[in-house]
Amino acid sequence: MLTLSMEYILLLVRNYYDILLASILFISITLYKVSGRTKDAKSCIPGSLGIPFVGETFALLSATNSVKGCYDFVRLRREWHGKWFKTRIFGKIHVFVPSVEGAKTIFTNDFTLFNKGYVKSMADAVGKKSLLCVPQESHKRIRRLLSDPFSMNSLSKFVQRFDNMLSERLKKVQKEGKRFTVLDFNMKITFDAMCDMLMSIKDALLLEQIERDCTAVSDAMLSFPVMIPTTRYYKGIKARTRLMETFKAMITSRRNGKEYHEDFLQSMLEKDSCPVNQKLDDEEIMDNLLTLIIAGQTTTAAAMMWSVKFLHEHGEVQDRLREEQISILKSKPNGALLTLDDLNSMSYASKVVKETLRMSNVLLWFPRVALDDCNIEGFEIKKGWHANIDASCIHYDPALYKDPMQFNPSRFDEMQKPYSYIPFGSGPRTCLGINMAKVTMLVFLHRLTSGYKWKVDDLDPSLERKAHIPRLRSGCPITLTVLQDE
């Protein structure tokens, strides 16, 4: 009888193997989730960690691949779990920190209780010696050596070169048809301006090659980090290899005396004879060239695109901004380029820039890794967990900003609560390009509003798929009207 029972059981197993395996997997996942919730209750942070390693990675990638954008992943979990929640992404536990108090705790304890945290694909894309990824001891040295070219005093030459480039390209658009896509236009001009400032590159074919590879690297920054041909990660890593070869060839050419330019790269190479702590090695130079190009292009171009959309939707703001900019234009000789003094006099334009950055949130959150167990506002953060300062949640908090979804530059007539306005982060890791981003946006707004009016031709609010920063899928196409033609 026992023998027959065992044979019968084996027969069942053979015939229903797939069903049994699926059932075991389902039961295991259910038990794991129940266990995860129990742990969450003890740590006071709600959320679901999902299955080991994978967690909710595919949900994040799915949101990134949708027209709602990757922040929809965060928005949904906040609805499910509350403002504080935790999840598992790419094998790491992430806690989303939604408050000014939490932001202050983390930013003021950078390098002591927290360190920069990025998903593997981002770190692989920009390089291990990028300012975004290096440990504290290297970060302070690299940041110090990179900072001078991005100070306000050093940017005076950049302001005039960018103003000249922008004026000429807007005139070209005007002659060719007056209709263009703002995002594409700005991606191209910010890229060309960055490459000119950093490496004095003007050759169209070389610029096209570098831009194509930088785009592939940028696309790989929020992808699944597996080297499978045709995937975004694979293409991005291959493109990074080509870029490093291009940068290395430039460095070699300059060291051999074949080229000389007064630019960022030359200033780095002139430190060759300095002590080790006063210069960058070649890998540090190349990784940070790539980081500066990508960071300077994608975020600034997106912010400029959003400013056009917001100003189109708020005619009274556009009119007030135009009045200020025309006044500045009339105070200068005909055809004169902008100066830093001109930008410093743009009080209302500066508020437009601030409000654009608050509402667009081109940097959705700032990731940090806990270096030890700690407590933030009563919530327990374990060593090794990622604490993401949620800039979007803070910038849209009605307790901090009245009518937060309303585009209102005049809200910056008053001082904001510390750590309530963080588009560039804060503390020792504040974005290195903060000044460049501001002057670029001010020059753009000046030339656009003092010379033109415009109409947005596609009002679809859908976001671009696969982008790690929010950008309109349409790119914001507009039709220009020259002011003198009215």
Q: Which residues are annotated as a binding site?
A: 431
Rounded Cα distance, 408 and 419, in Å:
19
In degrees and rounded to multiples of 5, residue 457 shows phi and psi of: -90, -10
How buried is 423 (Cβ within 10 angstroms: 0-12 exposed, 13-18 middle, 19+ buried)?
A: buried
CA dihedral in degrees (171, 173, 178, 183; nearest 10)?
Answer: -120
How buried is 143 (Cβ within 10 angstroms: 0-12 exposed, 13-18 middle, 19+ buried)?
A: middle
Rounded Cα distance, 322 and 445, in Å:
9
Nearest to 94 by CA among 64, 122, 56: 56
3-state secondary structure 344-394: HCCHHHHHHHHHHHHHHCCCCEEEEEECCCEEECCEEECCCCEEEEEHHHH
Residues of the binding site for heme? 431
In degrees and rounded to multiples of 5, residue 315 shows phi and psi of: -60, -35
Which pairs count as long-range contacts for 139-144, CB under 8 Å and 24+ apart, including other chains? 139/111, 139/428, 139/429, 140/428, 141/277, 142/280, 142/284, 142/288, 143/428, 143/432
Rounded Cα distance, 328 and 324, in Å:
7
In degrees and rounded to multiples of 5, residue 13 shows phi and psi of: -60, -45
Rounded Cα distance, 23 and 29, in Å:
10
Rounded Cα distance, 336 and 357, in Å:
28
* 248 membership: H or E segment, kind and range: helix 232-255
Identify the DSSP state of 415. P
The tokens describing 194, both together, are 């960055």
Neighbouring C-beta atoms of residue 107, cutoff 10 Å: 21
